[in-house]
């Protein structure tokens, strides 16, 4: 049966996500603001979570309605037959996102939704399901745009950028979803060598290897919210999980460098955890010592912006980057994600493409530099094309991005402001259970320490699937 789904993403990655969904075979794909809606069946829902590189989470809407007040939200939610999704034994949580002049407080909306569900159970059974903020059985998502409300089941749970391979991070790690989106945007799928000369914890190299080999980012994950749903089809998910038929050979190589020894050690650990040491080489090297690679290559990198990492001479660093591109990366293309205009100015090269992208709350830009052996003007006079059709299309998308952003100003207060002003949630709704570990605080290891990607190619087919073990006992999770 076909149903509606919504994949959420970062602003600027919507078209990349729509393309991924097209490849996956989704129907009725519609690009929105930081989301793409589409239709498909249960398999599409599982595949979306397992395969999409640029989705942050996948929602399954269960009710669309219009409401002009919190009471109307309450009534509409109470009218849903919640026994389809919950019982007194299941725990649930509600997340809400509100863009509305009427509903200014997303948390208040979330409380109303919770109240409606709890009251329905209490009236019908005299008992009620419990609220649990961390790791609930059912995660609900309420989205309000002015008066249009959509209540969805969150099928992902923990954000999909948490792939599961990251053992440790450097000071300013790039979000995995953003890293994958940037690589897909450049059009690179493994056709040449790949270099990140300032790789930090190795996010670009690892995401690049997954793309080059067409490996699903879900293979490292420990679980998805849909696995706790009443209609979970374990057999179908196992099939998807164990199907590596779409994976391909990668004939080139990926290099990550950094001039910080701690970052190099972290990147090495992450690469090892992902089982990709055969495809990725991480080395200590300052970019000023980088020399022209023998093979055709692409550089994709995000140097320090001077926000969290503050190099002594930030502009000097960018000047060096520009000079190295020009002298040591001839006839190749380089893509730089950065934040400040003056940093890009210091590179001193003309970008053939500028794409606006958010990195967290920072409004960044991804710029493409095409290095030719001749001078830029000579190249132009020879009539060689610098800006491709794709570049032009993306430039137009940049203009649309800026317009949309102005319209979609989020109106609700921060959680702290709200908490200090409004009533506390009902006492029984507060999540007072002791927190289990947070994966960022206590990273898990999925692989035996000495496993290498080479082992995989030697025939140990499914060693990467150590987040869980479907072959030995149904649904048993690997934990250490």
Ligand X SMILES: C[S@@+](CC[C@H](N)C(=O)[O-])C[C@H]1O[C@@H](n2cnc3c(N)ncnc32)[C@H](O)[C@@H]1O
- The distance of closest approach from Cβ of residue 202 to ligand X in the complex, given in angstroms and rounded to an integer, is 7
Of 87-95, 116-124, 194-202, 430-438, which segment contacts ligand X by CB under 6 A?
Answer: 194-202
Q: Is 302 in the site for ligand X (CB under 6 A)?
A: yes
H/E stretch holding 203 reads helix 203-212
C-beta of 305 vs 401, nearer to ligand X:
305
Residue 364 sits at φ, ψ, to 5 deg, of -100, 180
Of 34-42, 183-191, 300-308, 441-449, which segment contacts ligand X by CB under 6 A?
Answer: 300-308
Instruction: Quote the longest CA-to-CA distance of the chain.
Output: 81
Q: Is 279 in the site for ligand X (CB under 6 A)?
A: no
Among 108, 287, 329, 456, interactor with ligand X by CB under 6 A: 287
Cβ atoms of 166 and 179 within 8 Å: the answer is: no
Kindly state the number of chain residues that form the binding site for ligand X, as judged by CB under 6 A: 25
Judged by CB under 6 A, the chain residues 203 through 242 that form the site for ligand X are 203-204
Cβ atoms of 273 and 447 within 8 Å: the answer is: yes
Q: Is 303 in the site for ligand X (CB under 6 A)?
A: yes
Among 24, 70, 133, 172, interactor with ligand X by CB under 6 A: 172
Helices (H), 213-307: 234-242, 261-273
Among 26, 56, 170, 254, interactor with ligand X by CB under 6 A: 170
Residue 106 sits at φ, ψ, to 5 deg, of -65, -35
Q: Is 286 in the site for ligand X (CB under 6 A)?
A: yes
- The distance of closest approach from Cβ of residue 315 to ligand X in the complex, given in angstroms and rounded to an integer, is 13
Among 133, 309, 362, 395, interactor with ligand X by CB under 6 A: 309
Residue 199 sits at φ, ψ, to 5 deg, of -85, -10
Contacts of 126 (CB under 8 A, 6+ apart): none
Of 139, 81, 137, 69, nearest to 109 by C-alpha is: 69
- The distance of closest approach from Cβ of residue 176 to ligand X in the complex, given in angstroms and rounded to an integer, is 8
Tokens standing for 382?
A: 């020879």
Of 259, 271, 335, nearest to 297 by C-alpha is: 335
Q: Is 281 in the site for ligand X (CB under 6 A)?
A: no
What's the CA gap between 272 and 403, in Å, rounded? Answer: 42
Of 299-307, 358-366, 394-402, 446-454, which segment contacts ligand X by CB under 6 A?
Answer: 299-307
Of 216, 313, 224, nearest to 274 by C-alpha is: 216
Positions that interact with ligand X (CB under 6 A): 170, 172-174, 197-201, 203-204, 257-260, 263, 286-288, 302-304, 309, 311, 317
């Amino acid at each position: 049966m076909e149903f509606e789904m919504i994949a959420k993403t970062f602003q600027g990655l919507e078209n990349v996500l729509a393309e991924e969904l097209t490849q996956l075979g989704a129907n009725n794909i519609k690009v929105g603001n930081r989301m793409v809606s589409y239709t498909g069946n249960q398999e599409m829902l599982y595949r979306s979570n397992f395969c999409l590189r640029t989705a942050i989470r996948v929602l399954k809407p269960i009710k669309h309605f219009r409401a002009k007040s919190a009471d109307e939200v309450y009534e509409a939610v109470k009218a849903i037959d919640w026994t389809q999704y919950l019982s007194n034994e299941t725990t649930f949580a509600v997340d809400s996102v509100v863009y509305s002049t009427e509903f200014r407080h997303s948390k208040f909306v979330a409380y109303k939704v919770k109240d409606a569900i709890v009251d329905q159970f209490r009236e019908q059974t005299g008992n009620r399901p419990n609220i649990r903020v961390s790791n609930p059985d059912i995660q609900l998502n309420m989205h309000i745009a002015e008066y249009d409300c959509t209540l969805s089941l969150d099928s992902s749970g923990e954000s999909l950028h948490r792939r599961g391979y990251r053992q440790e991070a450097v000071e300013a790690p790039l979000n995995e979803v953003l890293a994958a989106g940037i690589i897909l945007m450049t059009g690179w799928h493994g056709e040449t060598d790949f270099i990140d000369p300032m790789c930090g914890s190795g996010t670009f190299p690892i995401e690049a290897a997954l793309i080059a080999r067409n490996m699903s980012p879900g293979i490292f994950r420990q679980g998805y919210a849909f696995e706790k749903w009443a209609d979970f089809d374990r057999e179908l998910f196992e099939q998807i999980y164990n199907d590596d038929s779409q994976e391909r050979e990668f004939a080139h190589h990926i290099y990550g460098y950094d001039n910080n020894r701690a970052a190099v050690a972290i990147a090495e650990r992450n690469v090892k955890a992902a089982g990709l040491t055969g495809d990725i080489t991480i080395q200590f090297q300052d970019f000023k010592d980088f020399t022209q690679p023998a093979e055709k290559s692409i550089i994709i990198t995000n140097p320090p912006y001077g926000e969290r990492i503050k190099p002594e001479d930030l502009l000097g660093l960018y000047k060096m980057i520009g000079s190295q591109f020009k002298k040591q990366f001839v006839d190749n293309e380089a893509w730089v994600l950065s934040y400040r205009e003056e940093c890009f100015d210091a590179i001193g090269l003309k970008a053939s493409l500028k794409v606006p992208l958010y990195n967290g709350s920072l409004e960044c830009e991804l710029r493409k530099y095409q290095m030719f052996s001749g001078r830029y003007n000579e190249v132009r006079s020879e009539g060689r094309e610098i800006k491709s059709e794709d570049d032009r299309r993306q430039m137009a998308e940049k203009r649309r991005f800026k317009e949309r952003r102005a319209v979609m100003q989020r109106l609700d207060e921060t959680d702290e402001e709200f908490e200090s002003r409004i009533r506390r949630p009902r006492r029984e709704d507060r999540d007072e259970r002791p927190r289990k570990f947070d994966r960022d605080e206590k990273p898990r290891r999925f692989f035996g320490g000495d496993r290498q990607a080479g082992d995989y190619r030697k025939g140990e087919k499914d060693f990467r699937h150590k987040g869980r073990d479907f072959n030995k006992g149904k649904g048993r999770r690997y934990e250490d």
